[in-house]
Homo-oligomer: A and B are copies of this chain.
Amino acid sequence: MRILIIEDDPNVANFAARGLRESGHAVDVAATGTEGLELAYAARHDVLVVDRMLPGMDGIAVIQALRSSGSQVPILILSALADVDQRVAGLSAGSDDYLTKPFAFSELLARIEALHRRQAGSEPASSLVVGDLTLDRLKREVHRGGDTIALQPREFRLLEYLMLHAGQVVTRTMLLEKVWDYHFDPQTNVIDVHISRLRQKIDREDGEALIHTVRGAGYIMRAGET
């Protein structure tokens, strides 16, 4: 389990970090809000422990920034402010738990594990998004900018795979393996045909193209420039 602690008081930070490491977790520590945000963006953490009061960027602001960027990490606020209003404010800002200093390490650990337990129970993302295109894996629905797009099963699997790997080139071999379950080269242009059909449905004239071909390599799903 990987934990990020954002806390400016080195005593508290070290105390917590050490204990968590001894419990077998990987711990990153940041002393300021901005540094913390960078670390949070740089790597996936299982739980964040954030001090309420931080020099520069405040803890609440950090949480709001993370949440507004779509992050779902469980966050525990650590604070000296025991006041009920403060606690409520912290929770409303988008955190999942609030622990007041001074705290017992065993409780911090228990709460972190409770947060993680809950998160771990949650399923792999069931809805994929690239640009204004969204695909709901459970409902098996695809939408682009408001309207629903009907896809055939094979088309759906193809798009799903492309979106799961959005931003990375997907080779023909990968597609044959994962979308067609072929473990050999069919020597035909099945893929080309289905890419074409997909494009006609999702990359309609309106809006930018999301499926890009990478000559000699395969295809890539991407919104935005570069």
Contacts and interface: CB of A to CB of B under 8 A. Distances in A.
B126 A138 contact: yes
A3 to B, nearest CB: 16
A35 interface: no
A110 B92 contact: yes
A193 interface: no
Contact of A84 (B87, B107, B137, B153): B107
Interface in A2-32: none
B104 A84 contact: yes
Contact of A88 (B74, B94, B107): B107
Nearest to A89: B110
Nearest to A92: B110
A114 interface: yes
Interface stretch (A117-125, A195-203, A210-218): A117-125
A113 B93 CA distance: 11
B137 A114 contact: no
Interface size class of A (residues with CB under 8 A): 20 to 34
Interface in A132-163: 137-138, 153
Contacts of A138: 123-124, 126, 137-138
B123 A72 contact: no
Nearest to A97: B97
A127 B203 CA distance: 32
B110 A96 contact: no
A79 interface: no
B84 A96 contact: no
A189 interface: no
18 contacts: A72-B121, A84-B106, A85-B106, A87-B107, A87-B110, A88-B110, A92-B113, A95-B114, A96-B114, A96-B117, A97-B97, A97-B114, A118-B122, A121-B122, A122-B122, A123-B127, A124-B126, A137-B138
Q: Which 8 A-B pairs rank lowest in CB-CB distance, beginning with the nearest? A: A122-B122, A91-B110, A123-B126, A84-B104, A88-B110, A123-B123, A91-B114, A88-B106
